[in-house]
Every structure is written in C-alpha cells, then in structure tokens.
Chain A
Amino acid sequence: MALENTDIQDKLTETFGEYVFHFNQEKDIFSFEVAADKITAIILFLKNDPLLRFNFLTDLCGIHYPDNEVDRQFTIVYHMHNWYDNKRIKIKTFINGEKPEIKTISNIFLSANWMERETFDFYGVDFIGHPQLKRILNMDEMISFPMRKEFPLEDGGRTDKDDRFFGRTIDNC
C-alpha cells in the first residue's frame, strides 16, 4: 500500500496539531510547513514512525526572504524521502531574520552535519546543539554570510551596465 498524502497529513496533525500546517502538493512533491521549535520532534517522528518511515534526509538548505516580516525572513527547507514506499516530502520552517536559530537535526541524521554547516556558512543560521558549527566552504576569517540577499554579486556602483532599459530592477538583474 502506497503512502498517501492524506496519511501523512492525518498522522502529523493528529500528533502535532497546529504546529504542522499549509499542506499542499507542489508539482510532484508533497509539502508542508512546521513550527520551527518543533522541528526536531517532527523530523524524529517522521523518521521513526512505523507508518511514515522517512528514513533518508535528502537535502537541507536555507532561503533568505528579506522582504518578509521579521519572524519569517529565513526558511530552512528539509527534503525527506521514504525509500520503502518511495515517497518524497518537503518540510519548510520559517525562522527569525534578526536572530536566526533553530535546533540541529544532526543527531538524527548524520548527513545533516555538513548541510547545516553549509547553511550556517551562507546564511548565518545558528543550529543549536550542532557539534561543530563552523564555516565549511568559505574561509574561517570571513565575517559576512554571502548568500543573504543584501550581498549583491556585483559592485552596485557599476555604470557600464544599465539594466533599466530591460525593465529590470536592482533585485532581479
């Protein structure tokens, strides 16, 4: 019996109530949002529940939304995969933009260790309880978090590229 979206939704709302919300099917992947402070409990539940069995953490990454209200400026996205029923899910959680922090899941999945370090390196998200939260791809001396949207790729003062003629703004060029 294949694992259906409704099974996942029912099981999660039954256990976690209002901490899990915004269930929807996005293209080929079932997605939902969770409250940031419940993330470890939910991931652990998804992994260990005998029905859900999401045994594999496919991916973990961050997204920066500087235009959102301050409590929803960073998103951590978890992709999980159930290999028994071949079902993928995407879990999103929004965290505060001024003091981004969330509990680590590196004690649940060993693979989360470097993925969280990468997210810390690029977005400055503090993963509480991470065994070795330090920069991974950038050098240790760096002080900024380069994937945040406030860091432009190119020098903003360039005059040789006038994108206004293509209807572009600073943000999308």
Chain B
Amino acid sequence: MSELLLPPEHRYAKIIKEKLNEDGSELSILNLGPTHPATHGIFQNILLMDGERILEAEPTIGYIHRAFEKIAENRPFYQITPLTDRMNYCSSPINNMGWWMTLEKLLDIEVPKRAQYLRVIVMELARITDHLICNSILGVDTGAYTGFLYVFQFREKVYEIYEEICGARLTTNMGRIGGFERDWSPEAFRKLDVFLEEFPVAWKEFENLFERNRIFMDRTINVGAISAEKAISYGFTGPNLRAAGVDYDVRVAQPYSSYEDFDFIIPVGKSGDTYDRFCVRNAEVWESISIIRQALAKMPEGNDFHADVPDYYLPPKEDVYTSMESLIYHFKIVMGEVPVPVAEIYHPVEGGNGELGFYLVTDGSRTPYRLHFRRPCFIYYQAYPEMIKGALLSDAIVILSSLNVIAGELDA
C-alpha cells in the first residue's frame, strides 16, 4: 500500500520495511493534504504513523508560491503593495501599512499624528479579524461550528469598514506613502462605532462558549505544547511565542505608528500549548479593542490624513486634469520615476502571526534591488513536525489551525 504513495527510496518506506511492531502490525503512511479541507490552505504533510499516533512528519510547502520577491524586484514601489496584500490575506492592512512604513523610513517621511492613529485603528481591526478567524476555526476543528458562524459575521462588519476606507475588502491595497489615499468618511467612523458596540458582546459570548468548555479544554490543553527556549530557537514570534510565556511584541519593543501612545498589555500564556495560543489570541482581541477605543478618543483634531510629500503622494485627481504640476507628479509617480535614496532598510511590524519584516535594499533605481519579506508563518511552520510528533492525527489538525499558518504568507 505504501509503495503507491511514496517512491521506494523514500526514508519512510525504508523505516516501514525495517521496523515491524512486536504484534506484527505495520507502520503506515498518511498524506495529510495538500488539499484537505481540514488543513485550511494548501499544506502537505507526509505522516509516518503507528496506528493513530504520528511518529514523524515531513511537510512540503510552496504550493502557492508566486515569486513575490522576484516580482517586487521589477516593480516600482506602488505596485508592490498589492503583493503584500496577498501574503497574510487575513490581515492585509497590516502588511500594507508595514510596507508603507518601510518606505517612509527609507524616505524619511514624517506621517501626521492623525494618520498614524488611523493606521493604528485599521491595523488593530486587521488583528481582530486575524485572531477571530484563527480562534473560531480552531473551534470548528474541535467540533464547535456555532461559534465560528456567530463571530464570522463581525469579520464582514470589519470588511465593510475597510470598504469605506479604501474600497476593497480582502486584498485591500490600502494607503499611500505618507498616509491614506483619502480621508475616512463619516460613514467609516459610524460603522466603527457600531462595531465597537456590538462586537465585544459577541466576543464575550464566544469566549464563554469555549474558554471553560470541557470538550474544548480536553482537546486543546497539553496538545502541541512548545517550550519557550524551543520556540525562540525556532524563530517563533507573535501570539504563538507569547503563548509559551515570552512577552515579545514588536509594538512594544520597537513602537511604530505611535503605538507608544497607547496603554495596553501583552497577554502571555505559560505552556505554549494549543489552549494557551487560543487564550492569548482571545486576550489580544480585547487589547486591540481597547487600543482602537483609545485611538478614537485621542484622535487629533483636523483632517490630516497624509504627509505633504508631493514627490511620492499622488495629487488629487481633479488637479491632475487642470494643473500642469500635478499632472507631472501624477505621471512620475504612476510610472515609478520618483527619487529613491540608496539604502538598506529593515522594518518590522507586529503582524497577525508575529514579526512581519520588510528588508529592502535599494540602488537608486525605480525598483527595489532586493526585497525580502520576513514572513512569520514561514519561519515557525518548520516547528510543526516536531510539535505533532507523538500526537494523534486529530491533534495534528488542531495544532495546525492553532498555529494559524496562512498559506499565502508561508509561500509568498
């Protein structure tokens, strides 16, 4: 049977041939994925199994690799933003803003306080949707569908806010160098207020449904635990690391976009198991809600939504048709003919899954010489085989979804 699945020279085929259990039973091989609905994305794992226990796993990735780094080397800056959307598509505004902030660091652009606060709001909304999906899907994988359907409508509400801000929903392509493409409409703020009123109620109910639920606790506690030392060595960041008890958060370590103005705590877990990851994400959603409320309360007066950088910021469309200067700027920006210093920049932001870094090398031409994305999923997914060693098959599914591996970010 296993010959059909694996070439005979494969390591596992040899192990199966050599190792017979005492009772005469044989080890077996199972292909988990690449297109199994329980894996939430295209992940393949070849599992070596003894009955229902996983002995070893070999992940194969790259099924949706789209060569973003190569494409980015051939595109001017504005055309790279849509690529960043498609990495972690559950929280694409964070990717967008991270990319703009990298460019602003490169070009030494100071973003007005109000635009920074607006960015914080949209990034925290994105974090909420990211954690909301991860946690509710974890519920689905443990057999609780209701919670998922219940909170999922709030992702829709957040997408409506995105729609008000930038016109798009999933792959947002939001913002510009120096701020946003337009000021937020009153409708966006109204929708935000409604969301802040309704969502905490639903999230509290969601939490109540799971946090002390006997079945959920039995399925998740001590499943897929990882120690802090191991997690650091494996390059874990974000909620998965914090669940192991390390309070590293880029928002606090290197505050960007005025995160230092807000008062929030970094929730940490203890054992680094699936249950702790769930609880850390839950708590982070509460912190995000609190940050959004603070940002709204502290929002500076006025209507600054972008920095005054005509070299990089597209002029208003009506000016393009009537004034020569605007037309020139418009043309230059669209064609990517903007002045670019020669520099190397690394800018990290706290993405939904951890430290999302942009390493940008420019040579003064219109395109990056090299752009490398530090994708948190890619780096911590390599711990997966070790985390599922000795676990049951059904635990492997739960661990995968609690790690929140997003295929787009994994494969870039």
Contacts and interface: CB of A to CB of B under 8 A. Distances in A.
Given A110-B383, A172-B367, A79 B65 contact: no
Contacts of A172: 365-367
A109 B61 contact: no
A61 B359 contact: yes
B254 A86 contact: yes
B234 A110 contact: yes
B71 A153 contact: yes
A8 interface: no
Contacts of A27: 105, 343-345
A88 B230 CA distance: 21
Contacts of B359: 59, 61, 77, 79
Interface string B350-386: 0000010101010001110110101000111111000
Pick the most buried of A27, A109, A171: most chain B CB atoms within 10 A of its CB.
Answer: A27
A172 B366 CA distance: 7
B61 A136 contact: yes
Interface string B313-351: 000000000000000000000010100000111101000
Nearest to A167: B337
A26 B105 contact: no
A55 B230 CA distance: 12
A58 interface: yes
Contact of B382 (A26, A83, A110, A171): A110
A50 to B, nearest CB: 17
A77 B73 CA distance: 17
A114 B343 contact: no
A114 to B, nearest CB: 5
A138 B378 contact: no
B232 A55 contact: yes
Contacts of A61: 359, 370, 372
B42 to A, nearest CB: 12
A146 B62 CA distance: 14
A166 B76 CA distance: 13
A173 interface: yes
A28 interface: yes
Interface in A65-123: 77, 79, 83, 86, 88, 90, 109-111, 113-115, 118, 122
A26 B246 CA distance: 29
Contact of B235 (A56, A138, A147): A56
Interface string B398-412: 000000000000011
Contact of B335 (A56, A151, A166): A166
Contacts of B355: 58
Nearest to B347: A28
B324 to A, nearest CB: 19
Given A61-B372, A113-B382, A90 B346 contact: yes
A137 interface: yes
Interface residues of A, number: 42
Contact of A137 (B61, B71, B383): B61
A139 interface: yes
A139 B254 contact: no
Contact of B62 (A64, A137, A154): A137
B1 interface: no
A111 B369 CA distance: 25
B105 A58 contact: no
Given A59-B372, A114-B379, A137 B65 contact: yes
B142 to A, nearest CB: 28
A88 B346 contact: yes
A63 interface: yes
Contacts of B380: 111
Contacts of B61: 136-137
A114 B378 contact: yes
Contacts of A86: 253-254
A64 B363 CA distance: 13
A111 B74 contact: no
Contacts of A113: 382
Nearest to A61: B372
Determine which residue in A29, A136, A173 has the highest number of CB atoms from chain B within 10 A of its CB, and name it.
A136
A63 B370 contact: yes
B152 interface: no
Contacts of A122: 69
Contacts of A153: 70-71, 73-74
16 contacts: A27-B345, A58-B348, A58-B355, A59-B359, A61-B359, A61-B372, A79-B359, A83-B253, A86-B254, A110-B230, A111-B234, A118-B378, A137-B61, A137-B412, A166-B337, A173-B367
Given A26-B344, A27-B345, 4 more contacts: A29-B346, A111-B235, A111-B379, A139-B62
Interface of A: 26-29, 31, 55-59, 61, 63-64, 77, 79, 83, 86, 88, 90, 109-111, 113-115, 118, 122, 135-139, 146-147, 151, 153-154, 166, 168, 171-173
List 4 tightest A-B contacts by C-beta distance, closest first: A111-B235, A137-B62, A172-B365, A61-B372
